[in-house]
Amino acid sequence: MAHGKDSKEKVVYVGDSRVKRGGGFITPPDYTAFPGKSEAFIPNFLLKEWMVGVVVLVGFLVLTIAEPAPLWFPANPSASIIPMPDWYFLFLYQYLKLPYASGSYIVLGTIGVSGVAFGSLLLAPFLDTGKERRFNRRPIASSLMILSLIAVVYLTNSAWTHYKDEMAETGQIPENIQREEKAAENKAKGLPTTSGNQQKEIAIVDKENPAMESFKKAGCISCHAADMKGASGPSLRGVGDKHSKDDILKIIKEGYEGKMPAMYDSAIAAGLTDKDVDNLADWLSKQKAEAK
């Protein structure tokens, strides 16, 4: 690109642009001077750019329709969780946990450092005024970019490693792992692997069975809800696909993997008999997705 009015000044073109810099309205040059090597920015070049953008947009739309984004599990106010931001904010999340960016230094961390970074971005065109476009000949811009990338990768990895350590210490299973296990389970059953697809609702089998009253009387509805779709506990619709009657009876008496306490004593205290508990386990084992 030319910088002066000297007619002998060497003209350096940027990209496909063949327009010489000038004041006011820019008159398009005669492109016949560059046979086979030039094209008008408007509409030829710009139309190509737009077409590429349209192809990328259509690609994203097709992927979105083909594989809808999975929904997370319903919010559970009684659950113990370790909050984490989305992956693209992990480096900021970790940065704000550093000693000189939090606590007594929170103002420095949130305003001071970000102000320096934003100011550097504003000053970048004045710090690096070189005309070179090659990476190795723009040391200031290249160094800043490399340092930024290293910092983002390091902080992101630190945040994720810390999160996994916390989950391991508290015995929690990350929801993304739970979703993967659920997807694998659904795949084995031939069901949709993502909650983005609407799944057929599983009906309650033999709703008029007296065991339904035992289910309510024993207090199961406090965790599994009166409609058995689950509240603080999981849904029991289709529980017969996962557990047999003996399994369910054992869960009632001994609890389940630390996620559910033993409920046998409280059921007996609520007025149920051993036969009622047995009938309840038998009825729950018949709660299957394909049963009618």
pTM (two decimals): 0.47
For the cut 90, the answer to whether the pLDDT of residue 55 exceeds it is yes
For the cut 70, the answer to whether the pLDDT of residue 20 exceeds it is no
Asked if residues 148 and 120 have their Cβ atoms less than 8 Å apart, the reply is: no
230, two tokens: 């689950």
- Mean pLDDT over 170-174 rounds to 77
- Mean pLDDT over 67-94 rounds to 79
Asked if residues 283 and 291 have their Cβ atoms less than 8 Å apart, the reply is: no
Instruction: Tell me the residue type at 239.
Output: V
Model confidence over 113-145: pLDDT tens digits? 889 888 888 887 787 887 777 878 888 888 888
For the cut 50, the answer to whether the pLDDT of residue 35 exceeds it is yes
- Mean pLDDT over 93-106 rounds to 87
Please give the pLDDT value at position 89.
Answer: 92
Q: To 5 degrees, how large is the angle CA 49–CA 50–CA 56?
A: 95
Instruction: Tell me the residue type at 39.
Output: E
Asked if residues 238 and 288 have their Cβ atoms less than 8 Å apart, the reply is: yes
Q: Please count the other Cβ atoms lying within 10 Å of the Cβ belonging to residue 111.
A: 10
Please give the pLDDT value at position 1.
Answer: 46
